[in-house]
Amino acid sequence: MTRQATKAPVWDLEFDEKGRLTSPAEGDFLDQVIAEGVDDLFMFSHGWGTSENHARALYQEMFPMIRDAATDAADIGKVGFAGIYWPSLWFPPTQATPPPAAGSTQTGSGAVVDLNAGTTGLSGREIAESLQPGFADPADQQKVRDIGQLIDQGEAAVGSNESDAEKEERLRQIHRLLKSLVPPAPDGEFEDSGETALLLTADPKTGYQAAAEAFGSAPPGSATQGIGDWFNQAINGAKDAVRVLSYTIMKARAGDLGRGALGPLLETLHGRSPSVRVHLIGHSFGARLVSFALSGIRAPVNSPVSSLLLLQGAFSHWSFAHAKDNPFGSAGALNAFADRVHGPLVATFSIHDWAVGVWYPKASFLARQDSQAETVGRWGGMGADGYQAVHPSEDRVMPPNGNMNYGFAPGTFYRVNAAGVINDVKGEPFSGAHSDIRKRPVAALAVHAAAAHAVSSRPN
């Protein structure tokens, strides 16, 4: 991205799958931030399923809007921007059944079970071609291609004279490959591990049929009541399992990059130039990336982070929770790191975000520790209702015109209901308004969060 487009210094930070900053060189980036005399550096991370071109377009729209909003902010100095680029996966778009409109008489648990994620309309080859570029290792790319081929072979075998034993072996072959791609879960992130019940199951025949039910590829109760062709349900459930795998890899990758790469980079920046204030912004799984960067900063005194803004975050709403009200019985994975933020911690949510509010919890359905009614609460994401079980916390509403003094204070968690702004679901039957963030009220929110820093209380 050019400086001319933003009328401010801007850097493209490119990270590889292993968490290495590949461009620019770390030293060059740090030297340039200092040489430019940047006071407030806005660092933005795109989310899941975003190509480099789409990420660049996101930053090209948002950075100028943030700059404009910051022009009249008294507590914002010279502004700079850094766009974070990381290797995220892309699952093919699906013609999902959108949930009923808010307030509809059809809302409730019955409507949820009738939803369909549209996975049945995809071929294994289409799924493999979308996911393959997200893997740098040729061996992993081949595994993805093999999974796609086995799914297509399985679909061709539906209704054939192939024996049940042969069909079950085909499922086991798919599952062995899928299981080999599952990343290890870091210790302590229990709120994010529910989906591994499906990915690591010892019984893919049953697990994949249950996945088809959860994502609407098969009628409810099919797996337990023997409704329809079990193998047809299971092979469609295998597609849903690959979707869950893509979620899981992105969650793990975002956390690893944040903790192991961005966090240490921020700490080094603070050591080189303690006066620079960093404002972290993340969308979708990018919200997880910037949040986990806090855990890569060894102590509050080492942190330059002055605000955290999570836009429709696609990770657990319990991540910052204290243990008392956390259904997992322990503090959230980031509970001990909120003090790395010297200003407010802000998260938007919207009822129109179907990706996080409707489909995200289903990735963890096979943990089987909840009833259907409890699933969203236990396995829900930030973009559905914001931070949960945190203190101190306050609620806000984003006005459509963006004209509001949010009254943010340092050290406080804010849940911002953005349904009046993040609400465009046209053409997005699966994700709804999940990515409807390229708006001036959103940019204004970022500036309000950034301006709430307490200069006098910042560590030297």
Give me the DSSP letters along 44-73: EE--TT--HHHHHHHHHHHHHHHHHHHTT-
Q: Residue 321 half-sphere exposure, CB side, CA atoms within 13 Å?
A: 28
Other C-beta atoms closer than 10 Å to the C-beta of 213 total 23
Per-residue pLDDT averaged across 215-241, rounded? 79
What's the token pair of residue 389? 């079980």
What pLDDT digit, counting tens, does each position of 353-397 carry?
Answer: 999 999 988 877 666 555 454 555 788 899 999 999 999 999 999
What pLDDT digit, counting tens, does each position of 307-342 carry?
Answer: 999 999 999 999 999 998 888 888 999 999 999 999
What percent of the chain is predicted at pLDDT more than 70? 88
Select from 338, 434, 360, 347 the least CA-distant residue to 398: 347
> Which pLDDT belongs to residue 5?
67
C-alpha distance across the termini of the chain, in Å: 32
Decide: 393 and 413 in contact? Cβ < 8 Å. Answer: yes
What pLDDT digit, counting tens, does each position of 260-288 carry?
Answer: 999 999 999 999 999 999 999 999 999 99
What percent of the chain is predicted at pLDDT more than 90? 71
> Which pLDDT belongs to residue 90?
83
- Cα 450 from Cα 356, distance rounded (Å): 25
- Statement: residue 223 has pLDDT above 90: no
Global pTM value: 0.92
* Order of strands across the sheet that contains 21-23: 21-23, 10-15, 79-85, 40-45, 277-283, 305-311, 345-349, 413-417, 393-397
- Statement: residue 215 has pLDDT above 80: yes
Task: Give the phi and the psi of residue 71 in degrees, each rounded to 5.
Answer: -60, -40
What pLDDT digit, counting tens, does each position of 72-130 carry?
Answer: 888 899 999 999 999 988 889 898 998 887 655 544 444 444 789 999 999 999 999 99
- Statement: residue 248 has pLDDT above 50: yes
Per-residue pLDDT averaged across 123-143, rounded? 95
Reply yes or no: is the peptide bond before residue 410 cis, omega within 30 of 0.
no
Per-residue pLDDT averaged across 177-188, rounded? 84
Provide the residue ranges of all domains of the chain, joining segments of one domain with +.
Answer: 3-89+251-457, 109-247
3-89+251-457 domain in CATH 3.40.50?
Answer: yes
> Which pLDDT belongs to residue 72?
83
- Cα 23 from Cα 20, distance rounded (Å): 9
> Which pLDDT belongs to residue 454?
54
Instruction: Name the pLDDT band for 352 (thresholds 50, 70, 90).
Output: very high
Decide: 177 and 149 in contact? Cβ < 8 Å. Answer: no
Other C-beta atoms closer than 10 Å to the C-beta of 225 total 9
What's the token pair of residue 117? 């994620």
Q: pLDDT: is 306 or 427 the higher one?
A: 306
